[in-house]
Every structure is written in C-alpha cells, then in structure tokens.
C-alpha cells in the first residue's frame, strides 16, 4: 500500500512533467476526437490505431496512477477504521474486566455480631466518624472495614484482696461486657485495638478498692449483697456515670447529652457479674471453718438429744395407746360375753316358757291330768331329743332303749 504522507510529485511524476502535461492535454483532445469519429461510424486504419495508441500511452499511465492512488487511499482508510474499532474493542473489554473486578471489591460486609469503622487500604487511615453495624456497604475498592466484636466478651479474674479487717482473701469472679456502638470512636481513639488489657486492669482495681468495704464474714454469709455491690462498682468504673441514651425519667446519673468523653469510663457496658469462690488464708480458713462448724456441731447434739426425748415420748405414747387398745378390747370381750350369756339365758327362758305353754296346751287338749303321766311323757320327749333312742311301738308295758354303738 502507498503511504498517505507521500507528495503528489512522487505519486504522479508523469503528470507533473511539462511534456507530459502537453501530451496529456493533447492526447485527451485526440482521444475525444477519435471517440466522436468512432461513434459516428468512420473506419480507422491500422496506422491511425497505432498512432492513437502511442499518443494515449501517457494518458493511460496517468489514469492508472490516479486509480492506484485512490485505491491506496481507500485501503488506508479501511485499515484506519479497523485499527480504531480494534482499539475501542480492547478498551471496552479492559473496562468490563476492571468493572467485574473492582465492583465486587468495592463492597464490604459487616456481620450481625460485629461493629466496624471504614479503613483506607492504601494509607491505613481509619474513619471514626461513623460506626457501621450489620449490612453490605459500597465503600470503594480502596476501602475495607476495621471490625470490633458486638457480642459479649468474657473476663475471668483471680485476685488477692484485703477485707475491712485487713485479712487477705483470694477471690474468683467473672464478668461480661459489650462494646457500645455510640462510644466506639472514643474507645478506638484512646486505646486502639488494645482495649482488653485496659478493661481488665480497671476491673481488678475496682474489685480491690470495693472489697475493703466488707468483712470476711460478709463474703461468706452475705454473698448476694457483696456481689451486687462489686457488680455496681465495676459497671460504674468501666461504663462511666452517664445515663443511657434512652433514659428519660428518674435517672440517677449524668444526662447523656451533658456527658463528655471523660464521663464514659472505659467506654464499655458491663451487664453481668458473678462472684465465684472466696478463699481466706489457710490458717484463717481452718479457724473460720472451725468457728462455722462448731455451731453446726452444737446444733447436731441438740438435735440428737431432742430426737432421744422424742423417741422416749413416742414409746410412752405407743404404750399408752396399746394399753388403751387392750383395755378397750378386754372391755369389749367382757361386754360381748355378758351379752351372749344374757341372750342365751333369755333364749332358754323363752324356750322353756314356750315348752311349758305348749305342754300345758297339749295336756289340756288330750285330757292328760295325771302328774305321773305328764312326767313320763316329758321324759320320753327328752330321751327322743337325745338322738340315740329308738321307740318300738305295739309294746304295751316295755319301752326298749337302745344305744347306737
């Protein structure tokens, strides 16, 4: 292909020469004249044709050069368009790839158990103006999150303290605290990410200072009161004396809007506290245990004595109840025997009376009036009732008494 920066003389040397200009103008005129003759039907000779071809040769050379120049221009313009389209396509592809890479990198997330500050990756700058909680945020590819725990953080304390009597006591305690989203900027601005040792140290100091208000006896016998007071003191030291933002009435604290950074303590919220073991010194512990056990032992002996007395009284009551039961039983037996004998006597009397009445009526009916006959008849009835007598009829003077063997 020809270059578009070439001069016209280099592209058209035959046209720019003087002779060629004359020959070109002449040959053009001759070419037009021959064309007219040809169109009007005149015949040409071979000599005329050859001379015309010779005369038209410079003209053809110039025309061919012009045609090639135009073709070169068209090819050059086509290549330029192709290059432009290719360049635009490459830029679009690169832009799309950058979008696919940078757009996901521009989003950062905070979980439900986290708080966070915006952080620039390139410089490490922390932006504490706004604390973020759970969600997805479009920050840009050069930003990420500096995250803090939003869940409860646990601290276990094993501390040696002195009570009000200057007795050395070893106690174990545990508390749980939360970071406050509204105070996170103060916490990070003052302590950075190393706030945990500060929180622990302040809690131990509060525990030691408050323990001097109680005696060892109170730690053992009044644990709930001591635990409540220790909890309140640690909560005040670590959380400050400011009211909660939603506190409106009867708040015995500094109003939230009037609080300064120094009024918020260590910028955490202590919500739970547990007082675990309380251990006095070994010697004091033995004495204390002995003093605590002695009343219990005395009470045990008293209980044993009372139990013995109760057993004796119980046995006495049991004997009394058994004697009373035996007496009632004997009385009931005697009454029963009396009633039985009386009933039997009354029954015998009724039977004898009925027998007497029956015999009398029988004697009257049959006309039996002799006493001996009445006695004999009564005797026969008695023998018959014994069941071992057989009466033989048709004997006039003798009654045989047979005993069944």
pLDDT, one tens digit per residue, over 94-117 is 878 877 776 677 788 899 999 999
In a shared domain, residues 237 and 170: yes
Task: Report DSSP state, residue 244.
Answer: P
Q: Name which residue leads in pLDDT, 96 or 236.
A: 236
Q: How confident is the model at residue 42 (pLDDT cuts 50, 70, 90)?
A: very low
Q: Name which residue leads in pLDDT, 108 or 174.
A: 174
Q: What is the pLDDT of residues 325-373, one digit of tens each?
A: 999 999 999 999 999 999 999 998 998 888 888 888 888 888 877 878 7
State whether the Cα torsion 362-368-371-376 is positive or negative: negative
Output the pLDDT for position 296: 86
Residue 289 located in a structural domain? no
Residue 288 located in a structural domain? no
Q: Which of 42, 77, 103 is the endpoint of a domain?
A: 103
Residue 3 located in a structural domain? no
Output the pLDDT for position 27: 41
Q: Extract long-range pairs of 212-217: CB within 8 Å, 24+ residues apart.
A: 212/161, 212/162, 212/163, 212/164, 213/164, 214/163, 214/164, 215/163, 215/164, 215/165, 216/163, 216/165, 216/167, 216/169, 216/280, 216/284, 216/288
In a shared domain, residues 229 and 307: no
Residue 131 located in a structural domain? yes
Output the pLDDT for position 257: 86
Widest pairwise Cα distance in the chain:
221
Q: How confident is the model at residue 206 (pLDDT cuts 50, 70, 90)?
A: very high
In a shared domain, residues 388 and 402: yes
Answer whether residue 1 shows pLDDT above 60: no
Output the pLDDT for position 68: 62
In a shared domain, residues 163 and 240: yes
Cβ density class 30-60: b for 16+ within 10 Å, e for less: beeebeeeeeeeeeeeeeeeeebeebbebbe
- The stretch 276-291 carries a mean pLDDT of 76
Phi, psi for 35 (deg, rounded to 5): -65, -40
Q: How confident is the model at residue 311 (pLDDT cuts 50, 70, 90)?
A: very high
Q: Name which residue leads in pLDDT, 50 or 255.
A: 255
Dihedral of the alpha carbons of 179, 181, 187, 188, in degrees to the nearest 10: 110
pTM: 0.50
Residue 188 located in a structural domain? yes
Answer whether residue 19 shows pLDDT above 50: no
In a shared domain, residues 52 and 16: yes
Output the pLDDT for position 381: 76
- The stretch 46-55 carries a mean pLDDT of 45
In a shared domain, residues 188 and 246: yes
Please give the distance of CA 366 from its chain centroid, rounded to a whole number: 115
Q: Name which residue leads in pLDDT, 57 or 276.
A: 276
Output the pLDDT for position 189: 93
Alpha-helix residue ranges (DSSP H) falling in 367-405: 371-385
Please count the helices (runs of H) and the strands (runs of E) in the chain. Answer: 10, 8
In a shared domain, residues 160 and 253: yes
Q: How confident is the model at residue 77 (pLDDT cuts 50, 70, 90)?
A: low
Residue 30 located in a structural domain? yes
Q: Name which residue leads in pLDDT, 71 or 26.
A: 71
Residue 53 located in a structural domain? yes
Q: Name which residue leads in pLDDT, 113 or 13.
A: 113
In a shared domain, residues 265 and 177: yes
Q: How confident is the model at residue 208 (pLDDT cuts 50, 70, 90)?
A: very high
C-alpha distance from residue 211 to each of 145, 217, 219, 223, 359 (Å): 41, 12, 9, 12, 115
* C-alpha to C-alpha distance for 377 and 369, rounded to whole angstroms: 12
Looking only at the bridges linking them, the beta strands covering 114-120 and 143-149 are antiparallel
Task: Report how many domains make up the chain.
Answer: 5
In a shared domain, residues 254 and 333: no
In a shared domain, residues 138 and 243: no
In a shared domain, residues 270 and 164: yes
Give the structural domain span for 134. 111-146
């Amino acid at each position: 292909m020809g270059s578009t920066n070439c001069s016209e003389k280099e592209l058209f040397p035959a046209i720019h020469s003087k002779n060629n200009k004359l020959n070109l103008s002449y040959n053009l005129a001759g070419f037009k004249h021959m064309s007219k003759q040809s169109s009007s039907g005149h015949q040409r000779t071979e000599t005329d044709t050859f001379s015309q071809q010779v005369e038209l040769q410079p003209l053809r050379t110039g025309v061919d050069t012009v045609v090639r120049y135009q073709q070169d221009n068209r090819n050059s313009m086509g290549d330029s368009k192709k290059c432009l389209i290719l360049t635009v396509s490459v830029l679009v592809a690169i832009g799309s790839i950058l979008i696919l890479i940078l757009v996901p990198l521009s989003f950062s997330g905070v979980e439900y158990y986290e708080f966070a500050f915006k952080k620039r990756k390139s410089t490490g700058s922390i932006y504490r103006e706004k604390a973020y909680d759970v969600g997805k945020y479009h920050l840009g590819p050069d930003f990420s999150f500096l995250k803090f725990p939003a869940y409860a953080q646990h601290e276990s304390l094993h501390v040696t303290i002195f009570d009000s009597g200057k007795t050395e006591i070893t106690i174990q305690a545990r508390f749980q605290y939360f970071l406050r989203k509204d105070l996170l900027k103060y916490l990070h601005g003052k302590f950075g990410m190393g706030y945990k040792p500060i929180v622990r140290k302040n809690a131990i100091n509060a525990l030691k200072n408050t323990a001097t208000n109680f005696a060892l006896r109170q730690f053992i016998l009044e644990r709930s009161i001591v635990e409540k007071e220790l909890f309140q003191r640690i909560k005040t030291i670590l959380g400050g004396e400011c009211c909660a933002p939603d506190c409106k009435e009867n708040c015995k604290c500094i109003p939230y809007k009037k609080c300064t950074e120094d009024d918020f303590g260590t910028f955490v919220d202590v919500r739970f506290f547990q007082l675990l073991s309380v251990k006095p010194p070994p010697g004091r512990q033995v004495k204390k245990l002995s003093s605590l056990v002695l009343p219990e032992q005395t009470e045990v002996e008293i209980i044993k004595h009372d139990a013995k007395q109760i057993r004796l009284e119980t046995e006495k009551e049991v004997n009394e109840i058994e004697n009373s039961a035996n007496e009632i039983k004997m009385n009931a037996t005697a009454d029963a025997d009396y009633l039985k004998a009386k009933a039997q006597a009354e029954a015998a009397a009724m039977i004898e009376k009925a027998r007497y009445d029956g015999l009398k009526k029988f004697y009257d009916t049959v006309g039996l009036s002799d006493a001996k006959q009445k006695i004999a008849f009564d005797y026969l009835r008695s023998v018959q009732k014994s069941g071992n007598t057989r009466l033989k009829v048709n004997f006039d003077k003798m009654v045989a008494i047979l005993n069944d063997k």
